[in-house]
């Protein structure tokens, strides 16, 4: 029944008004909610004036933060239990993405994921398993869940930007290289950025990198569509 749950959360834009041409799904971290990452949208609105930003609340109450949400739990769980919860959340997230794209008559080429921490884990799990490639994925301070499964489960290859602080006490910085190695192994184009002395956070440089990456990813898609006509 969990896969039938629907997500909701705040949204922003398009800054230019009118019908959105792109959708950016902002996936928050453990113990937070959709309002947290929505704060990225005003910083990127000038770069992406025709994008609508959707920041859904994760489907489950957070087991460690009474007012927060979680995509999956990890307390007292082994890797197989965590994977099962990730797969449940993935089905819910996929349903939300499908619904929002259909509502706006857009497809995956006009959509991107941006995640932080647990939201990055969901982005990297869901994105390459969708049948059509997203324009791109931006992941901050996350890791790749069940990397050993990706080679046989990958269905598409969106461009990826990963940004991680080398002083992160929550998700080890080594997670960045581990994710890059597997993503590149399966043919995904990855840009990795190390942020010196940064803890579990997004800094100004990372914010700029993410906005420029999204603008470039959407522009690349539009150029490809124009050339194919």
How much is the pLDDT for 4? Answer: 58
- Which residues are marked as active site? 117, 168, 200
Q: Out of 3.30.365.10, 3.30.450.20, 3.40.50.300, 3.40.50.1820, select the CATH number for domain 7-13+20-228.
A: 3.40.50.1820
15 exposure class (CB count in 10 Å sphere: 0-12, 13-18, 19+)? middle
Averaged pLDDT, groups of 10, the chain, 229 residues long: 73 95 97 95 96 97 88 85 94 97 96 98 98 97 96 97 97 97 97 97 97 95 60
* pTM greater than 0.75 (yes/no): yes
Q: At what angle do helices 118-126 and 79-104 cross, to 10 degrees?
A: 70
In what helix (H) or strand (E) does residue 60 lie, and over which residues does it extend?
strand 60-61
């Amino acid at each position: 029944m969990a896969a039938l749950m629907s997500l909701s959360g705040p949204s922003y834009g398009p800054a230019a008004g009118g019908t959105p041409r792109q959708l950016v799904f902002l996936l928050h971290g453990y113990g937070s909610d959709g309002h947290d990452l929505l704060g990225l949208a005003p910083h990127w609105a000038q770069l992406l004036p025709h994008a609508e930003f959707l920041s859904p609340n994760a489907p489950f109450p957070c087991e460690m933060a009474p007012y927060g949400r979680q995509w999956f739990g990890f307390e007292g769980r082994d890797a197989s239990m965590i994977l099962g919860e990730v797969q449940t959340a993935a089905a819910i997230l996929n349903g939300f993405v499908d619904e929002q794209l259909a509502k706006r008559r857009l497809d995956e080429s006009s959509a991107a994921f941006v995640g932080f921490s647990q939201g990055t884990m969901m982005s990297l799990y869901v994105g390459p398993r969708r049948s059509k490639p997203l324009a791109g994925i931006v992941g901050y301070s996350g890791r790749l869940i069940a990397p050993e499964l990706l080679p046989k489960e990958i269905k598409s290859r969106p461009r990826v930007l990963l940004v991680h602080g080398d002083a992160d006490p929550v998700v080890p910085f080594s997670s960045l290289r581990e994710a890059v190695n597997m993503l590149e192994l399966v043919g995904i184009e990855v840009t990795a950025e190390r942020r010196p002395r940064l803890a579990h956070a997004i800094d100004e440089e990372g914010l700029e990198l993410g906005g420029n990456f999204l603008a470039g990813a959407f522009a690349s898609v539009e150029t490809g569509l124009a050339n194919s006509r």
